[in-house]
C-alpha cells in the first residue's frame, strides 16, 4: 500500500450490506447464472463469469460474495460461516469484502447506538 492509503479496520460486530451498485451487480450475476445453465460445461460458465465481472472491475468469484450479502446485512464472520460449505477460506472472504468496499459494491452499516446506561443504584 502507498503511504497515503490507510487500511480501514472494522470491528467484529460491523455489519455490511450491498450498495445500490452492488445490488445491480448481484442481479446481473443472477441473470448470468440463469443464462449459463444452458451452457455446455464448466469452461463456458467460467468464461461467462469473467465476462460478467470485467466491466464492473470485479473478479469472477465476487459474484458469490455479492449473492451472500444480497441475503441481508452480514458481519464478515457470518459471511465466513455461510460460505464454509463452498470451500471459501476466511482470508478470501476478508479480501473480497475489502475489494467490494473499495469498488462501492458493499457499504458498512452505521454502528448501533450504545444501550442506555442503567440508573444508578441507591443504597439506603
- Tens-place pLDDT, residues 25-41: 999 999 998 888 877 77
Q: Which three cell numbers stand for residue 30?
A: 443472477
Domain ranges of the chain: 15-108
At residue 48, the pLDDT reads: 87
- Tens-place pLDDT, residues 102-122: 999 999 998 777 788 888 888
Cβ pair 66, 18 in contact under 8 A: yes
- Lowest pLDDT segment from 81-85, 99-103, 111-115: 111-115
Task: State the Cα torsion 33-49-53-68 to the nearest 10°.
Answer: 50
Say whether pLDDT at 15 is over 90.
Answer: yes
At residue 6, the pLDDT reads: 53
Say whether pLDDT at 4 is over 80.
Answer: no
Amino acid at each position: 500500500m502507498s503511504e497515503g492509503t490507510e487500511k480501514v479496520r472494522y470491528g467484529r460486530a460491523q455489519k455490511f450490506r450491498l450498495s445500490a451498485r452492488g445490488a445491480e451487480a448481484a442481479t446481473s450475476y443472477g441473470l448470468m447464472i440463469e443464462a449459463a445453465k444452458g451452457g455446455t460445461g464448466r469452461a463456458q460458465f467460467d468464461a461467462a463469469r469473467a465476462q460478467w465481472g470485467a466491466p464492473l472491475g470485479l473478479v469472477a468469484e465476487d459474484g458469490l460474495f455479492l449473492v451472500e450479502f444480497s441475503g441481508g446485512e452480514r458481519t464478515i464472520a457470518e459471511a465466513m460461516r455461510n460460505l464454509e460449505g463452498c470451500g471459501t477460506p476466511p482470508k478470501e472472504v476478508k479480501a473480497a469484502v475489502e475489494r467490494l468496499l473499495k469498488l462501492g459494491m458493499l457499504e458498512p452499516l452505521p454502528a448501533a447506538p450504545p444501550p442506555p446506561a442503567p440508573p444508578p443504584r441507591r443504597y439506603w
